[in-house]
Structure formats: structure tokens, C-alpha cells
């Protein structure tokens, strides 16, 4: 018995000695860039777990006790796999019917169908998975994780993504709309095509002559182009009237984490652009755009106008800037500067020649330093953080002060 005890102690001592050089990489305390240095609650790995997310990551509980970032933190703090924890955290928001920019009850496409996108990356395993245009599954991030864990592929789309989800045991629902999302879509639809989509209490105002005129005009290509423009105008009008939160037009939830052992992961999930052309896919499921995670550096992700992000693969850029030594804040601002420089189409510019849209980035490095940055300071821009001190919202850095100037 004494010999067995001595052997066990010898093996344990040897293992600790072998791990010492690796652990030293993570001995720096977690640093919050917009707050104070925190040193309490340090885990055996030497660094405090840090979870960051878009602001909706600390706003919804779906009737449960914790928000997304709090749930992820609790799980990684007790040693759960980082992507497993992230997927469980974002599922809280995906399944909350009051959040209409992701998952169940997300704002549908132009045909009234909810199509979801999501991606995940595991920095430690160097793996990733994603789905796009997925219908019928409330938790697309979990399906993205299943792609990562069970296939040799990174991205599955449309009906085949749904078929894969069914094969993996996910429940497929016929319709992910809630009464709220359907009501918003109907409001938008009636604004776009008021001659055919009637409000029940205003039917008498739609006469035969008006319907005949609309039918004739619909045959004209110019009329079709005008209708396309009307789709955006109708959505913008609903934002101005307070019927849709402007921050949720593009929607999306991003969440990244660094565990106590320095393992990095990231997840992004969305219902996409409100009332989008069916089949439209933005940045969220695209690796290097919607999110990116590197075990040696950190992670980054985005919300906002996906098309602007896709052009420069900004999440990958942010991680590479951090690899070169930039802080998370400066790396995010560099990505925003490049988007501003690359935005040259007149339709995308405000009256002063600057981008007429909002986009936001979130970044965390392996030391626990984190930041959020956005194109405009026009609204209350915050991002979610959770450390040993608990979940909270912190201010984002804006590249441009104010709001876009409307074109006359």
C-alpha cells in the first residue's frame, strides 16, 4: 500500500511539472479594458474565465434564472467544454419568444418564413461548424455544433441542413413564427403591397379601380423595382414608428468565451435581416466573418450589417490584429475603419459620405482583455460581460460620433 501511494504521488508530481511551462502562458490575471483589474477567483489554469456577448446576451432569460453570459460563465467555470457552454448559453436567447432577432420568433423573411443561421468555432480543437437558411429548428447554434462534431464539413444549408438536424434528433417544427413576429411581418407586408394585403378594418378603402391600377403596374419592371425599394422603406418606417427596434433589423447574438485554462470559443446565431429576400445569408454562419476563434490569440464576432462585414472578413481581421499585438479595442476599431473605407456605393452612404448603417464588433484575447466597438454612437451601445464579479453591460467604443445624416 505505501508503495502504491508513493507511485501515485510521483505520477501526480511529474504531471504538474510537465504542465508548468504550458500553464505559465496563462498566469496573467484577467484584465477588463473598460473597468478594473480583477484577481479574485482565479482557477487552477491561472486565468479568470471571461465571457462576452452582444447586449442581448445579458437581457433575456426565457423564464430561467440566468442570462446567456451568466449561463456560459457558470458552465466554463465548472470545467464544461467551451463550445458546449456557449451553445447552451445562446439557446436561452434563441428559445425566448420575446427576442425577435434570433431563433424562435425571429423576424421572418419576405415570405413570412423564419430562416436561421448560426456558426461556432472551437479554438482548442481547431474545429468549426455552421448552418444557414435553416427552417424549423429553434436552436440553430446547437445544429452548427452538431455539424462541427459529427461531420467533416463546416457549413450545411437550407433543406439539407434541416434534414441533417432531423437525422441528429432535433425537433423540426412547421413554423417558428410567434404571434409577435407574424404580426410584425403582416404590418410590413401591408405597407409594401397595400392593394393586395388589406387590413381587415380598412377593406372598404380598397376599391376595384385601385386594385386594377396596381395589377397593371405590377406588370411593369419599373414597378417591380419600386416595390423592392418599398420593402426597405416600409421596414425603415416601422423602425421610425417604434414598431421594430432598430438594433434588431439585422439582429443577431454573438458570444465568445475564454475558459480558466485559456481555451477559446465563439458562437454567433441569428434570424438574419428582417424581411430579407428568401435565401439571403449574411455574415453570421461564415467563418471569419460572423465569428472567429484562435487558441493562441482570442476570439471575435459581430452583429449588424452582415454584407459590410463579409467584404472584409472582419472577425478574422480582428483576431489577426490582436495576434500582431493590438488590444481588442484597437483591433475592433481597425476593422471598422476598413469597412468605412470600403463602403463606396452611394446607396450605402449618408449625406456626408460616411456609412449609413450600424455594425458592431466584440473581441476578447487569451489574457481576458475584451472590448466592443461600433460604427456609430447614435444609440446606447453596450456589450455584455461576465466574470467572477457577475454579468454586466459595458460601454462600446464608437468610431464615429453621432448618427448618419439622412440624404435629402
- The model's pLDDT over 247-299, given as tens digits with 9 standing for 90+, comes to 666 679 999 999 999 999 999 999 999 999 999 999 999 999 999 999 999 99
Instruction: Please check whether residues 385 and 254 belong to one and the same domain.
Output: yes
Domain boundary among 222, 243, 264: 243
- The reply to whether 56 falls in a domain is yes
pLDDT at site 300: 98
pLDDT at site 69: 98
- The reply to whether 36 falls in a domain is no
pLDDT at site 16: 39
Instruction: Please check whether residues 256 and 158 belong to one and the same domain.
Output: yes
pLDDT at site 205: 55
Instruction: Please check whether residues 112 and 238 belong to one and the same domain.
Output: no
Instruction: Please check whether residues 210 and 77 belong to one and the same domain.
Output: no
- The reply to whether 59 falls in a domain is yes
For the chain, give the percent of residues with pLDDT over 70: 79
Instruction: Please check whether residues 235 and 256 belong to one and the same domain.
Output: no
Instruction: Please check whether residues 60 and 202 belong to one and the same domain.
Output: no
Condensed to tens digits (0 to 9), the pLDDT of residues 154-188 reads 999 999 999 999 999 999 999 999 999 999 999 99
Q: How many domains does the chain have?
A: 2
Tell which wins on pLDDT, 139 or 228: 139
Mean pLDDT of the chain: 85
Tell which wins on pLDDT, 239 or 297: 297
Instruction: Please check whether residues 256 and 124 belong to one and the same domain.
Output: yes
Average pLDDT over residues 366-387: 95
- The reply to whether 31 falls in a domain is no
Does residue 129 register a pLDDT over 90? yes
Instruction: Please check whether residues 236 and 292 belong to one and the same domain.
Output: no
Does residue 219 register a pLDDT over 60? no
Instruction: Please check whether residues 154 and 230 belong to one and the same domain.
Output: no
- The reply to whether 351 falls in a domain is yes
- The reply to whether 388 falls in a domain is yes
Question: pTM of the entire structure?
Answer: 0.82
Catalytic residue among 252, 259, 343, 387: 252
Write out the residue range of the structural domain in which residue 238 sits. Answer: 185-243
Instruction: Please check whether residues 279 and 366 belong to one and the same domain.
Output: yes
Instruction: Please check whether residues 228 and 261 belong to one and the same domain.
Output: no
- Domain containing residue 320: CATH number: 3.60.20.30
Give the model's confidence band at 121: pLDDT under 50 very low, under 70 low, under 90 confident, else very high.
Answer: very high
Condensed to tens digits (0 to 9), the pLDDT of residues 15-44 reads 334 333 323 333 333 333 333 333 333 333
pLDDT at site 234: 76
pLDDT at site 169: 98
Known active-site residue 252 = yes
Distance (Å) of CA 6 to CA 3, 17, 18, 238 = 5, 16, 18, 73
Amino acid at each position: 500500500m505505501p508503495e502504491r501511494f508513493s507511485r501515485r504521488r510521483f505520477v501526480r508530481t511529474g504531471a504538474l511539472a510537465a504542465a508548468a511551462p504550458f500553464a505559465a502562458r496563462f498566469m496573467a490575471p484577467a484584465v477588463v479594458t473598460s473597468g478594473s483589474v480583477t484577481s479574485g477567483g482565479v482557477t487552477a489554469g491561472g486565468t479568470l474565465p471571461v465571457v462576452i456577448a452582444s447586449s442581448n446576451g445579458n437581457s433575456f432569460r426565457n423564464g430561467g434564472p440566468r442570462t446567456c453570459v451568466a449561463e456560459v460563465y457558470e458552465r466554463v467555470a465548472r470545467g464544461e467544454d467551451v463550445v458546449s457552454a456557449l451553445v447552451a448559453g445562446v439557446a436561452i436567447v434563441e428559445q425566448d419568444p420575446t427576442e425577435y432577432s434570433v431563433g424562435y420568433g425571429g423576424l421572418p423573411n419576405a415570405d413570412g418564413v423564419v430562416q436561421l443561421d448560426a456558426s461556432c468555432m472551437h479554438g482548442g480543437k481547431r474545429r468549426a461548424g455552421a448552418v444557414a437558411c435553416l427552417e424549423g429548428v429553434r436552436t440553430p447554434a446547437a445544429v452548427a455544433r452538431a455539424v462541427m462534431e459529427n461531420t467533416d464539413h463546416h457549413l450545411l444549408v437550407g433543406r439539407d441542413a434541416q434534414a441533417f438536424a432531423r437525422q441528429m434528433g432535433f425537433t423540426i417544427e412547421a413554423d417558428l413564427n410567434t404571434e409577435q413576429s407574424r404580426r410584425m411581418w403582416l404590418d410590413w407586408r401591408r405597407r409594401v403591397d397595400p392593394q393586395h394585403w388589406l387590413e381587415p378594418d380598412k377593406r372598404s378603402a380598397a376599391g376595384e379601380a385601385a386594385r386594377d391600377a396596381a395589377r397593371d403596374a405590377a406588370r411593369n419592371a419599373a414597378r417591380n423595382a419600386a416595390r423592392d425599394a418599398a420593402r426597405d422603406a416600409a421596414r425603415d418606417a416601422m423602425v421610425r414608428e417604434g414598431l421594430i427596434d432598430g438594433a434588431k433589423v439585422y439582429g443577431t447574438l454573438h458570444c465568445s468565451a475564454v475558459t480558466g485554462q485559456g481555451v477559446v470559443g465563439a458562437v454567433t446565431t441569428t434570424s438574419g435581416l428582417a424581411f430579407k429576400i428568401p435565401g439571403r445569408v449574411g455574415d453570421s454562419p461564415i467563418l471569419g466573418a460572423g465569428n472567429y476563434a484562435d487558441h493562441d490569440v482570442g476570439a471575435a464576432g459581430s452583429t449588424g450589417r452582415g454584407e459590410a462585414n463579409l467584404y472584409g472578413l472582419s472577425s478574422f481581421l480582428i483576431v489577426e490584429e490582436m495576434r500582431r499585438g493590438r488590444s481588442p479595442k484597437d483591433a475592433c476599431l481597425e476593422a471598422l475603419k476598413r469597412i468605412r473605407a470600403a463602403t463606396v456605393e452611394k446607396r450605402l452612404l449618408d449625406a456626408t459620405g460616411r456609412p449609413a448603417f450600424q455594425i458592431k464588433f466584440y473581441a476578447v484575447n487569451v489574457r481576458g482583455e475584451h472590448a466592443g466597438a461600433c460604427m456609430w454612437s447614435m444609440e446606447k451601445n453596450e456589450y455584455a460581460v461576465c466574470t467572477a464579479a457577475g454579468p454586466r453591460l459595458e460601454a462600446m467604443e464608437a468610431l464615429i460620433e453621432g448618427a448618419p445624416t439622412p440624404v435629402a
